[in-house]
Chains A and B, each alone.
Chain A
């Protein structure tokens, strides 16, 4: 595909359940980012991958949140023991690190609702 894709588009789960959110970056983009956007707020940084490794995970709110990118392409954001406060839109972005200004291209997001 031409852009960043995220699946599922929407996810409804119950409090305490485990969820996985997937991000397919633009082909060839080495950098991948996860952000969380709560209602009425701007996106907040969660984690940044350069290749397979997490270069900056300072935005992960607690140890219930974990993300992987095992082959340097697709990434999965994993949330354990979900809480109602985790409800938000989770945005993924990718960039070609050497591009001028390191423009980040965003996907359409996954809307997570925790009941």
Chain B
């Protein structure tokens, strides 16, 4: 079974600075998807960015980018020019492309605090 590990329970960053959140995963599959979700206090999970494993190019979405290292099974999220609205729980998630399973496997999350 796949597992996702987020080793940083909490992180903090100064407004306008850059922060990197870590994520590692374990799988024997070669094709899969990886995601970063943001969960503010409202509880609603919001997709931040996704990466397809067969694509070597790192995904970017405005101020958000990833560093995908397939051999190391690492998928870190970089937030540039941090804003107060970025404060939230961030979850890394894995989704298999095999066996018809559509489920997401989540890490335990990292709480990000943005200091003004």
Q: Report the Cα distance A2→B104, complex, angstroms.
A: 22
The answer to whether A103 touches B43 (Cβ under 8 A) is no
Can you report 20 A-B residue pairs in the complex whose CB atoms are below 8 A from each other? A31-B102, A33-B103, A33-B104, A40-B108, A42-B4, A42-B93, A42-B106, A42-B108, A43-B91, A43-B106, A45-B104, A45-B105, A48-B103, A55-B102, A59-B103, A97-B102, A104-B47, A106-B37, A106-B46, A108-B43
The answer to whether B102 touches A102 (Cβ under 8 A) is yes
Interface residues of A: mostly helix, strand, loop or mixed? strand
List A contacts of B47 (CB < 8 A): 103-105
Residues of A whose CB lies within 8 Å of any CB of B are 31, 33, 35, 40-45, 48, 50, 55-56, 59, 89, 91, 93, 95, 97, 101-109, 111
Q: Report the Cα distance A43→B91, complex, angstroms.
A: 9
List A contacts of B86 (CB < 8 A): none
Q: Report the Cα distance A109→B40, complex, angstroms.
A: 12
List B contacts of A50 (CB < 8 A): 102
B100 beta carbon closer than 8 Å to chain A: yes
List B contacts of A106 (CB < 8 A): 37, 44-46
A3 — nearest CB in chain B belongs to which residue? Answer: B44
Q: Report the Cα distance A64→B103, complex, angstroms.
A: 21
Q: Report the Cα distance A109→B105, complex, angstroms.
A: 18
List B contacts of A56 (CB < 8 A): 100-103
Report the minimum CB–CB distance from B9 to chain A (whole Å): 9
A41 — nearest CB in chain B belongs to which residue? Answer: B108
A97 — nearest CB in chain B belongs to which residue? Answer: B102
List A contacts of B101 (CB < 8 A): 48, 56
Known pairs A43-B104, A45-B104, A95-B102 / 5 extra A-B pairs, C-beta < 8 Å? A35-B104, A42-B4, A42-B109, A106-B45, A111-B43
The answer to whether A42 touches B91 (Cβ under 8 A) is yes
